[in-house]
Amino acid sequence: MTTSVALVDSGGTNIGSVRYALDRLGVRSALTADAATITAADRVILPGVGAAGPAMRRLHDADLVEVLRGLEQPLLGVCLGMQLLFESSAEDGGTPCLGLLTGQVVPIPATPGERVPHMGWNTLDVLREDPSLHGILAGSRAYFVHSYAAPVTEDTVAATTHAGRWTAVARRGNWWGAQFHPERSADVGARLLTNFVSEVPDE
């Protein structure tokens, strides 16, 4: 593959493992907070681990919020990065996010028998056919680590269930999101990343 990928340097601790996962696919990537490098890339990935408030502050401080909102090439948010694509997060008393996908991210409720954070392998419930899920079968399993989650919305293409029903994969046009960690999800994660770097952008 010759697709160039910009990994947005948002301070997430999973950036290195995402980059390594792309290396295994033969995809070159650049870790960057430079707006010109991001806008010139064929694909952009927004990784993230942690809380929405600090992550959005880092994006604002780097003057990247409007850059990401204005991208025309495919943008993939991973874990916290996916949550930042939504309108807002309930973290820190309410954090406005990028607003590219509809809905608010909320805390996973404490539920008897269901641990929070949601950590480990869980099943994907495919809700509709989508290029993001090409080659990923209903019932496939992926690796999750998160305490906040996005409810199922019109942008959800696959859901998962843990103390509620949540978005696992979202897509609206060229905006993609994966709540699970593709870099830790074996063949399912590799397939999603392959789909992302090879999909022809919407006209």
- Cis status of the peptide bond prior to 117, with omega within 30 of 0: yes
Burial-class residue 110 by CB neighbours within 10 Å (0-12, 13-18, 19+): exposed
150 secondary structure, DSSP code: P
Positive or negative, the CA dihedral 29, 54, 50, 138 is negative
> Tokens standing for 18?
């995402």
* Residue 7 Rama label (left phi>0; alpha psi -120 to 50; beta): beta
Question: Token pair of 50, please?
Answer: 């942690």
Contact 16, 7 (CB under 8 A): no
Residue in 185, 175, 193 with CA at minimum distance from that of residue 134:
193
Annotated catalytic residues are: 79, 181, 183
